[in-house]
Amino acid sequence: MTNAKKKICVVVNSRANYGRIKSLMVAVKEHKDLELDDDEIDYIRRLDPQPLTLDTISRNRIRLKAGKYVGQVVPSNKIIKMIPKIGDVGFFGLLLYTEDMPKWILDEISTAKGGRTLVDVLARLFVKIIKEIIETGLYRKYYRVSEQTHIIRGRLLLAQTIRAPYNLDGKVWCEYNKIGYNVLENQAILYCTMLLLNSIKNIDTWNELLAIRKTLLSQEVSLKVIHSYELQTLNLHRLNEHYEMGLRFCKFILDGTIGYQEFSMEDHMPTLTWYHNMERLFEKFVTKILQKNYEPTEFKIRAGKHIDNVLELVKGAREPPDMIPDNVIRKNRKDVLILDTKYKSEGAHASDFYQATAYSLELDCNCVLLVPEIENKIQNQFRILDHPDLHVYEKSIKFPEEKDDIHEIIENLEKQVLDIVDPFLKNK
C-alpha cells in the first residue's frame, strides 16, 4: 500500500513575493511524496477586474466575498458562483430592458427558472437569438484569400511561389477574392458557442449549441479567438442587419469573458470564467428609465457627463479626480436634480455623501443617492450647511423576488424609481 501524496497549496499575496518562494515551489513539485496543488487563490487574485475579495481568516482558512460582480469564476476544476441579489431572472430583466431587446426574449427568460445557473440562462438566450439568425440566413461576402493552387486564380504571388520549399506538385501561390461564410460575424458566433458549450448544465441547450457549431463548421467558418473590441468595427447594412441582436449579445458575452484562450475542436473546451459589473448595469438601467419616461417631455437627461470640478490643483503632480454624476435631469437648460446610483448592500458610504455634496454645490440642485434595498428601507435626508435650499438624499428601491414574472419585475423597479424622482420634478 502506497502512501498518498501530501498536497501543498501556495498562496501569494503579491507578485513581488513570488520570486522569493519560486525555488521552494519547484522543489516541492519535483518531490516524489509531495504534490503542489493548483494555485487557485493566485488565479483569483490575478483576475482583472477583481471580482472577489479574499480575506485571510486563519492559517488554513480564506474567506471569499463577492462585491459588485455577478457570474462565475473557474479556478482549476472548481466553479465559484456569484449570484445576483435580484436573482438570475431579475439580472437578465435589467440587462434586456437596458439594451432594448425585444419582448420575445423577455418572455424566454420567464421560462428560465428552476435550477439553471446564470450562464445557463445566458446560453439559452444566446441560442434563441442565433437560431433566428440562421433561419433568416447566414451572411456571406467576398474576402481576400492567399493559398496554393494547381490553377492560377486571381493574382499570381511569384515571390511566395519561388520561396515555397519542395514545390514539386506544380502548385503556385495565388491571391484572389472568394465568397464565403468565414467572416467576422460568423466567427464571433462560433467562438461564443464554444465558450458556452462546456459551461452549462442544461442538456437541451447544450444540444442546440452543438447544432449551431455544426452549422457554422459546415460552412467553413474558422474557429479563432474573437475579442469584444473587434465587433465594434463591424458595419451593419441590409445584408447583415439581422445579426444586430446576435452581435450585441456576443459582445456582452465577450465583455464578461476573462482569459481569452486558443483551443481547437479536439481540445477539451474551457469552462467559462465570466462575470459582469452589476454596479454598471444598475446605473445604466436607471438611466434608461429616466430617458424613457422624461425625455419625451420637457426634461432632458445628461448621463455620465463631466461637470466642472470644485477642486483646483495648486501644487503637486496629481490631477484632481473627475466629477461625473451618473444622471443629471435638466429643464430649460437648468439642472434640476442629480440622481447617482450606488449598488452597495450596506447603503451609501461617507465618501458617497461628500461626492454628492460636491455635485450639488457645483450644479446648484439637490442630489439623490439611489441604493438597493437589502434588509430595510433606506430614507435619509441631509441639508448642506450654509446652503438651506440644497439637500442630499439617500433612498432605496427594493428588488422584487425572483418568483415574480419578468415583466412584473421590470415594471415594479421602474415604478419605484419614478415614485422617487417625480416629487422632485413636480414644481420644476
pLDDT tens digit sequence for 121-177: 888 889 989 999 999 999 998 888 888 887 888 888 878 887 776 655 778 889 988
pLDDT of 279 > 50? The answer is yes
Which three three-digit cell numbers place residue 316? Answer: 503637486
* Residue 326 and residue 406 in one domain: yes
What is the distance in angstroms between the CA of the first residue and the CA of the last residue of the chain?
Answer: 84
C-alpha cell at 92: 437578465
| Banded model confidence at residue 3, pLDDT cuts 50, 70, 90 | low
* For residues 416-427, average pLDDT: 93
89, part of any domain: no
User: Does 156 or 218 have the greater pLDDT score?
Assistant: 218
pLDDT band at 288 (very low <50, low <70, confident <90, very high): very high
Give the highest mean pLDDT range of 269-278, 318-327, 330-339. 330-339
Based on the fold, state whether residues 243 and 266 are members of the same structural domain.
Answer: yes
Give the per-residue pLDDT at 72: 82
Q: Which of 239, 69, 47 is closest to 141 using CA atoms?
A: 239
Number of structural domains (the chain) is: 4
The amino acid sitting at 80 is: I
The rounded distance, in Å, linking the Cα atoms of 423 and 426 is 5
Shared domain for 221 and 338, answered yes or no, is: no
Mean pLDDT of 23-49: 63
What's residue 265's pLDDT? 56
pLDDT top residue among 171 and 423: 423
- Cα gap 331→30, rounded to integer Å: 71
Peptide bond before 49: cis, by omega within 30 degrees of 0?
yes
**Residue of 65, 106, 47, 110 lying closest to 257 (CA atoms):** 47
The sign of the dihedral angle between the CA atoms of 145, 150, 154, 159 is: positive
Q: In the 8-state DSSP scheme, what is residue 267?
A: S
Domain that holds residue 265: 115-139+191-272
- Is the same domain home to 395 and 292? yes
Chosen domain end from 253, 272, 291: 272
Query: What string of DSSP letters covers 350-403?
Result: HHHHHHHHHHHHHHTS-EEEEEEESSS--EEEEEETTEEEEEEEEEEEEPPPTT
Comparing CA positions, the residue from 49, 35, 117, 37 lying closest to residue 77 is: 37
pLDDT of residue 39: 59
Q: Which residue in 70, 99, 107, 114 sits closest to 406, CA to CA?
A: 107
pLDDT at 283: 93
Point out the domain boundary residue: 249, 272, 295. 272
Q: Which three cell numbers stand for residue 24?
A: 521552494
Task: Say whether pLDDT at 366 is over 90.
Answer: yes
**Measured on CA atoms in the order 203, 209, 212, 216, is the torsion positive or negative?**
negative
- Considering the domain architecture, whether residues 127 and 29 belong to the same structural domain is answered as no
What is the spatial distance between Cα 132 and Cα 241, in angstroms, rounded to a whole number? Answer: 12
Q: What is the pLDDT of residue 110?
A: 62
Task: Give me the pLDDT at residue 238, please.
Answer: 92
224 with 132, same domain: the answer is yes
> What pLDDT score does 60 carry?
58
Residue 344 lies in a domain: yes
Q: Is the pLDDT of residue 267 over 60?
A: no
Query: By the 8 A CB rule, do 139 and 247 touch?
Result: no
Of all residues in the chain, the percent with pLDDT exceeding 70 is 79
What is the DSSP secondary structure assignment for residue 130, as one 8-state letter? H
Q: How far apart are CA 403 and CA 421, in angstroms?
A: 27
48 and 151 belong to one structural domain: no
Partners of 394 in beta bridges: 369, 380
- Cell 447566414 locates to 138
CATH number at residue 406: 3.40.1350
CA–CA dist 275, 227 (Å, integer): 16
* 36, pLDDT greater than 60: no
Q: Does one domain contain both 377 and 318?
A: yes
**Which cell goes with 279?**
454596479
Helix (H) or strand (E) holding 337: strand 334-341
123 and 266: one domain? yes
pLDDT of 42 > 80? The answer is no
Is 266 found in the same domain as 296? no
Q: Is residue 108 part of a domain?
A: no
Residue 210 lies in a domain: yes
In a domain, 96, yes or no: no
Of the two residues 171 and 364, the one the predictor is more confident about is 364
* 50 falls within a domain: yes
Is 162 part of a structural domain of the chain?
Answer: yes
Residue 1 pLDDT grade (very low, low, confident, very high; cuts 50, 70, 90) = very low
Q: Domain for residue 107, yes or no?
A: no
Q: What is the pLDDT of residue 337?
A: 97
- From 272, 304, 334, the end of a domain falls on 272
Cα–chain-centroid distance for residue 148? 41
Mean pLDDT of the chain: 82
Say whether both 124 and 252 belong to one domain: yes
Say if residue 402's pLDDT is above 70: no
pLDDT higher than threshold 70 for residue 240: yes
Look at 24 and 91; give whichever has higher pLDDT.
91
Say what the pLDDT of residue 255 is: 86
Strands 34-36 and 6-8: parallel
Are 313 and 374 in the same domain?
yes
